[in-house]
């Protein structure tokens, strides 16, 4: 059986899945958008764990396209997988960078043993990518890379993002 993939409207912080993916920045210490919402819902222990990552395994933060897991703390999800999307505003326009976010997040999910994962529309907010392009890259990458039996849910804010992902899945 191959991966089951769906797109829903909603708030990623309330999803009852093994892992949710955070559209973080390289500093790994929180921000606005979905990153801010995840830190708020997970509670201060998430920031404390991210600070520990910065002191130990990730002194220079996380590169664009890379991914790393933390616990979910107060979230329903057991893990948060942090990835850094490409930022169009600083010339990061290569689709391979965005595909790497999805591919590396799936690899981390596999490493921790997650059987279900929820993604937001990485880079479609502050980082300025067109949500239609994000949806095409996300769906193509997940179709190519997700392990059999992994449940993948795209959780979208707003009608425009939801319909872009529904079209990409159709």
**Residues forming the site for ligand AR6 (CB under 6 A):** 11-13, 23-25, 31-35, 37, 85, 120-127, 155, 157, 161
d(CA 90, CA 79): 30
- Between 46 and 121, CB nearer to ligand AR6: 121
Residue of 11, 18, 35, 149 with catalytic role: 35
Active site annotation includes 35: yes
Closest distance between ligand AR6 and the C-beta of residue 82, in Å?
10
Closest distance between ligand AR6 and the C-beta of residue 128, in Å?
7
Backbone angles phi, psi at 147, to 5 degrees: -65, 155
DSSP annotation string for 15-48: --SSEEEEEE-TT-S--SHHHHHHHHHH-HHHHH
Query: Cβ distance 107 to 121 under 8 Å?
Result: no
- Between 61 and 147, CB nearer to ligand AR6: 61
Residues classed as catalytic:
35
């Amino acid at each position: 059986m191959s991966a089951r993939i769906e797109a829903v409207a909603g708030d990623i912080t309330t999803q009852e899945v093994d892992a949710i993916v955070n559209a973080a920045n390289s500093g790994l210490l929180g921000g606005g958008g979905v990153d801010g919402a995840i830190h708020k819902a997970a509670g201060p222990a998430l920031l404390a764990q991210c600070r520990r990552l910065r002191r130990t395994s990730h002194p220079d933060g996380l590169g664009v396209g890379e991914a790393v897991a933390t616990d979910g703390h107060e979230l329903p999800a057991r893990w948060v997988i942090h990835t850094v999307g490409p930022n169009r505003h600083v010339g990061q326009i290569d689709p391979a960078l965005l595909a790497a976010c999805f591919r590396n997040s799936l690899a981390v999910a596999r490493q921790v043993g997650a059987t279900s994962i929820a993604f937001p529309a990485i880079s479609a907010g502050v980082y300025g990518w067109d949500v239609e392009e994000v949806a095409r890259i996300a769906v193509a990458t997940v179709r190519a890379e997700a392990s059999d039996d992994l449940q993948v849910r795209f959780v979208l804010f707003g009608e425009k993002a939801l319909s872009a992902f529904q079209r990409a899945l159709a």
